[in-house]
């Protein structure tokens, strides 16, 4: 053991991040008898639901599948108020779970992990933080989130602006007063859309800077009454089974409907029926051809374009709001509520930065090629360095001192099923590239599956008296080849978005999430466990 190792606090596992996965990681690893130490940069638990407290933040998965399944008592006692709860309710739920299962006692908050270094001799990780902690652990769980490293585009003279700039992923806890203010929102992804539709009625004047128009689905968000809740709780066991068996970890799944064989009226009626559910079911609970077949995709695209156009009064504004450069569902489809109606308000202006690009920030606002717009507040709804950002912002060093950041820069991003990386023994990840969790999954379904697999794997290593596990080079290469093959069967790689890494300059362009289905991924994971991690190096 090195001097650093012996001076360090000794634990069995370090868990980084107190979001959905990290909290569950603590719970499951403790159950397996491990001594754990968690670190979280925020003041409390919640992860995404701690940081993203921007106006209108709301989940796009139904509440009854956006929860933990490990405790019947928890399911019985927690009451969801509506189908798609807003951020405060989900944050409250996660705090309730943390209290009930005493998760907090194993986390140190307001502490950022700066580095994690693997010691080849001791076969342990040394984790260091910005608060001076040095912890030695056999296992490292990086539950750092897939959408947690905010992206701030390098706008010229951004620092000159005298007003307030806020990234949605770092929203101030005390909130922001918009009354009478001139507000600019940059970005119209799932986040920007929620912000715009929420603050449009509150602000003095709103300018929305859109680069790419998105397809959307109107959210249907009924309140639950006691009878609804009782029904959902009674059906929870069956629901748990169901979400584990579907393509994207939702309760809906691909249907066998032959849409293209229908006459135009029947087809329109079918599309309207799916659309009226007001959920992501129109996308990943309709027919798989929507993601695989250009002609089917064109039918969906045309349908949604007509729906958008019908709601916008000014046809010139509608032209800008209708997507023109990609097919429906090849990037994340946001749910919206009265988003398009916001653009019918006289105090809301849409600026296409494709047509009139942002030239610079000024002291007073933003200047595009069309002129200067005065602003008091600029909201960056500009997204995240998805999948890899949170991992590479930590100085992770694997075997032989290899830096994960350099490794991925030089050799491309590589993982084995988004769970481990060859060359980084005993390091596990959730929501990392090349698992469905990275994008094509109801996040809690996939995160719980991954954490369960990780906890079982760690337990196996300990019980067999071994010290370390990592995927062999062959299994990793095989997974990457399979991942690419499946990705290329879909239309997704044809479109730019964070799914492809194209929102980050210089990031290798490769589909981040495994597109072969969460249920198939689960089967591969289960098989690996049953075969005692064949293809992994266990020392
Ligand atoms: P995003 O989807 O990456 O959207 C970022 C937006 O910023 C895009 O409109 C992008 O334009 C724009 N942008 C980026 N750089 C720009 C620049 N230099 N100039 C002008 N515009 C720029 O990020 P997000 O909206 O935060 O959403 C990320 C993901 O978080 C979602 O896809 C979803 O998975 C998750 N999310 C979920 C929910 C929910 O469940 N309800 C809510 C919010 C977010 P381009 O499109 O042209 O790149």
Say how far apart CA 290 and CA 276 lie, in whole Å. 17
Mutating to test ligand 1, I would choose from 90, 211, 326, 431 the residue with most ligand atoms within 8 A of its C-beta, which is 211
Instruction: Give per-residue pLDDT as tens, 187-225.
Output: 999 999 999 999 999 999 999 999 999 999 999 999 999
- Complete DSSP assignment for 74-96: HHHH----BSS-BHHHHHHHHHH
Most distant pair of Cα atoms in the chain: their distance: 75
Instruction: Give per-residue pLDDT as tens, 475-500.
Output: 999 999 999 999 999 999 999 999 99
Handedness of CA 252, 253, 256, 261 (dihedral sign): positive
Contact 148, 438 (CB under 8 A): no
Mutating to test ligand 1, I would choose from 383, 384, 440 the residue with most ligand atoms within 8 A of its C-beta, which is 383
Q: Residue 215: left if φ>0, alpha if ψ -120 to 50, beta else—which one? A: beta
Torsion of CA 314, 316, 320, 321, to 10 degrees: 20
Q: Is 188 in the pocket of ligand 1 (CB under 6 A)?
A: yes
Which atom of ligand 1 is least distant from the CA of 153? 18
Quote the DSSP letter at residue 504.
S
Q: Is the pLDDT of residue 3 over 70?
A: no
Instruction: Give per-residue pLDDT as tens, 319-342.
Output: 999 999 999 999 999 999 999 999
Q: How confident is the model at residue 2 (pLDDT cuts 50, 70, 90)?
A: low
Say how far apart CA 142 and CA 315 lie, in whole Å. 48
Q: Is 437 in the pocket of ligand 1 (CB under 6 A)?
A: no
Indicate the burial class of 38 (C-beta count within 10 angstroms; 0-12, 13-18, 19 or more): buried
Q: How confident is the model at residue 4 (pLDDT cuts 50, 70, 90)?
A: low
pTM over 0.95: yes
Q: How confident is the model at residue 159 (pLDDT cuts 50, 70, 90)?
A: very high
Q: How confident is the model at residue 7 (pLDDT cuts 50, 70, 90)?
A: confident
Contact 41, 19 (CB under 8 A): no
Q: Is 190 in the pocket of ligand 1 (CB under 6 A)?
A: yes
Residues sharing a CB contact under 8 Å with residue 215, sequence separation 6 or more, in sequence order:
301, 304, 305, 308, 323, 328, 329, 333
Indicate the burial class of 132 (C-beta count within 10 angstroms; 0-12, 13-18, 19 or more): exposed
Beta strands in 321-478 (DSSP E): 335-336, 348-352, 358-361, 365-368, 371-374, 377-380, 395-397, 427-429, 469-471
Tokens of 415: 């993982």
Average pLDDT, integer, range 245-259 = 97
Nearest CA to ligand 1 atom 31: 190
Say how far apart CA 64 and CA 50 lie, in whole Å. 20
Mutating to test ligand 1, I would choose from 190, 439, 444 the residue with most ligand atoms within 8 A of its C-beta, which is 190
Residue 279 CA to ligand 1 centre (angstroms): 19
Nearest CA to ligand 1 atom 20: 211
Q: Is the pLDDT of residue 282 over 80?
A: yes
Say how far apart CA 232 and CA 228 lie, in whole Å. 6
Contact 367, 358 (CB under 8 A): yes
Residue 462 CA to ligand 1 centre (angstroms): 41
Say how far apart CA 418 and CA 385 lie, in whole Å. 16
Average pLDDT, integer, range 112-131 = 98
Q: Is 150 in the pocket of ligand 1 (CB under 6 A)?
A: no
């Amino acid at each position: 053991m090195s001097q650093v190792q012996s001076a360090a606090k000794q634990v069995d596992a370090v868990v980084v991040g107190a979001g959905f996965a990290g909290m569950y990681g603590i719970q499951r690893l403790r159950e397996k008898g491990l001594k754990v130490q968690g670190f979280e940069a925020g003041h409390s638990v919640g992860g995404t639901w701690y940081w993203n407290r921007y106006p209108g933040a709301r989940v796009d998965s139904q509440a009854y599948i956006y929860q933990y399944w490990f405790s019947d008592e928890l399911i019985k006692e927690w009451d969801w108020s509506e189908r798609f709860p807003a951020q405060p309710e989900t944050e409250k739920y996660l705090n309730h779970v943390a209290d009930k299962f005493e998760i907090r006692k194993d986390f140190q908050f307001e502490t950022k992990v700066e580095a994690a270094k693997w010691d080849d001799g001791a076969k342990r990780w040394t984790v260091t933080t910005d608060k001076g902690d040095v912890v030695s652990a056999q296992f490292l769980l990086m539950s750092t989130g897939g959408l947690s490293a905010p992206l701030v585009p390098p706008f010229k003279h951004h620092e000159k602006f005298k007003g307030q700039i806020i990234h949605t992923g770092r929203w101030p806890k005390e909130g922001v007063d918009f009354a009478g203010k001139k507000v600019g929102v940059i970005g119209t992804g799932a986040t920007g859309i929620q912000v715009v539709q929420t603050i449009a009625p509150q602000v003095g004047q709103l300018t929305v800077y859109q680069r790419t128009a998105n397809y959307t689905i109107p959210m249907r968000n009924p309140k639950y009454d006691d009878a609804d809740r009782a029904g959902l709780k009674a059906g929870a066991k069956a629901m748990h089974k169901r979400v584990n068996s579907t393509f994207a970890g939702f309760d809906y799944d691909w249907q066998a409907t032959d849409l293209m064989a229908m006459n135009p009226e029947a087809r329109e009626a079918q599309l309207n029926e799916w659309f009226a559910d007001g959920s992501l079911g129109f996308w990943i609970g309709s027919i798989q051809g929507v993601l695989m077949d250009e002609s089917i995709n064109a039918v969906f695209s045309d349908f949604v374009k007509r729906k958008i156009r019908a709601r916008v009064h000014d046809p010139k504004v509608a032209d800008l709001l209708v997507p023109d450069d990609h097919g429906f569902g090849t990037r994340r489809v946001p749910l919206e509520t009265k988003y398009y109606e916001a653009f019918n308000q006289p105090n809301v202006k849409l600026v296409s930065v494709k047509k009139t690009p942002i030239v610079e920030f000024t002291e007073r606002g933003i200047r595009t090629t069309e002129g200067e717009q005065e602003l008091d507040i600029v909201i960056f709804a500009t997204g995240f360095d998805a999948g890899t950002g949170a991992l590479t912002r930590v100085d992770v060093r694997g075997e032989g001192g290899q830096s994960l950041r350099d490794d991925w820069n030089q050799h491309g991003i590589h993982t084995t099923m988004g769970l481990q990386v060859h060359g980084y023994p005993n390091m596990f990840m959730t929501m990392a590239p090349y698992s469905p969790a990275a994008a094509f999954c109801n996040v809690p379904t996939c995160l719980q599956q991954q954490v369960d697999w990780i906890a079982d794997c760690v337990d196996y290593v300990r019980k067999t008296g071994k010290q370390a596990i990592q995927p062999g080079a062959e299994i990793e290469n095989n997974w990457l080849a399979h991942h690419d093959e499946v990705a290329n069967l879909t239309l997704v790689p044809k479109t730019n978005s964070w799914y492809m890494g194209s929102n980050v300059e210089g990031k290798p362009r490769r589909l981040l999430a495994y597109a072969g289905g969460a249920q198939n991924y689960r089967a591969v994971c289960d098989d690996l466990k049953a075969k005692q991690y064949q293809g992994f190096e266990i020392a």
